[in-house]
Structure 1
């Protein structure tokens, strides 16, 4: 414990484990200096694609944004991030707020980001390949293998100019604060095609696709038809990536809930691309 918080200069009064999330194993740290979330660097986080160094830099770049938590510092064990006071938003109240936050993220100035981050966008294809290679053979089903072979041979199409993307705007990551809304868990944040981020948000929350695309495009004065084509294109990609993520969750935690969620996503994928499933 002492090693984790080395170098932060905190007068700690209480540390408690936070529940939820596969990559996290996060802790709430209460100290004289304030309340924080400890986000460790772990093998589990790395397997699932979380990058604490990138998360730290992106949060630093967002220090002037009201919706993002401030980052307090980092060491070789992890990063320390501001605890946002408030409650997680209810899913039935999340849609408009989530779209507003997504628009805000996609329009952030990139001036404060390093060239390394700006020049290394998120690749759904690479993430799918990484997840697949981390799943042990006994957890690889024939259906998953067939779809992996399909996606690994596809070119990843670029629809729109890259911008900063969060890649996990679920209601579970939106905090209702006294003065607005906060967006937490930036561990997957990266440069990327904003239509991928929009697709991920729709799927994560099971929002109505047409409603959300229309709302997003109205707010940003974009062409709805173009964005709908992009979301339809990415939906099988994101669905399969989610299935692999849940499968890895089952492998790492042995929780059958994740296995059931992986099977649910595979059922969706088979309906989206039935010709791949033979």
Structure 2
């Protein structure tokens, strides 16, 4: 995405201060745009990602929280944070392979279990504010009576009581998994917080469009949770996850006018209706 000279100057100032090697390298790359206010920086032989806040941040999403989450994580789960300064979050670039297909169930369950064993970040994942945000920012022509009924019903019932509260990533899909030799690491921690492990699993299953049985069996074995108990809790979260996905696609349709998001939204609404049958 394009950046103004003022943005580039502020980023160069932060890089020069927190990454002294940048002075020896002479410059940083002019910044290939990524998504969500991010730029890719080349500093000598090292690479970093610099993130700047978007204009309309979603509830519970902030660079400060991303930085705190990454600071708390041990090596081997996510990228190492460099700094949070002058509105820029800089993290290391994770070199490796990003695959289009879902991760193997055993490898993914191991990664999630390792994350969920860490100390909580200190802020809870709350889906209702996000769902209301997406409703308010979707195209008025797409706000159907069914959508409103589901939203009101969820507000009335409240979110499921957590089976086990832990730090969660909440955006686990193929594009956010970086393969490095025999390990997998997670990038893009903007939605991270403390939530139910079953919510994370339900979201990962939906985002990767997989059956999920192998993933849940492997995770239940690692975490010493009764498989049937875990299955039931994941099923409780499934309508919430589908509602979240459908609503996000609707919001992205209004922002981008990319009809791909309309197709994805319609598919998600169909799946959500199927959960009522």
Confirm or deny a common fold (TM above 0.5): yes
CA contact (8 A) 2:83 2:90 kept: yes
Distance between the aligned counterparts of 1:5 and 1:177, measured in 2?
29
Structure-2 change in CA distance of 1:33 and 1:48 (3 Å) = farther
How high is the TM-score relative to the length of structure 2?
A: 0.87
Distance between the aligned counterparts of 1:189 and 1:219, measured in 2?
22
Q: State the partner residue of 2:70.
A: 59
How high is the TM-score relative to the length of structure 1?
A: 0.87
Q: State the partner residue of 2:30.
A: 15
Please show how residues 1-278 of structure 1 align to structure 2 within 5 Å.
Answer: 1-9=8-16, 10=19, 11=22, 12-19=27-34, 24-32=36-44, 34-44=46-56, 46-47=57-58, 50-62=61-73, 64-110=74-120, 113=121, 118=122, 120-178=123-181, 180-274=183-277
1:130 positional shift: 2.4
SS in 2 for 1:42: coil
Gaps of 5+ in 1: none
Q: State the partner residue of 2:3.
A: none
Structure-2 change in CA distance of 1:49 and 1:89 (3 Å) = farther
Distance between the aligned counterparts of 1:254 and 1:129, measured in 2?
21
RMSD of aligned Cα (Å): 2.0
Gaps of 5+ in 2: 1-7
Deviations 1:108-139, CA, capped at 9 Å, x for gaps: 134xx4xxxx2x31112232122222324233
Q: State the partner residue of 2:4.
A: none
Distance between the aligned counterparts of 1:144 and 1:188, measured in 2?
23
What count of residue pairs does the alignment treat as equivalent?
A: 262
1:102 positional shift: 0.8
Deviating beyond 4 angstroms after TM superposition, the runs of 4 or more aligned structure 1 residues are none
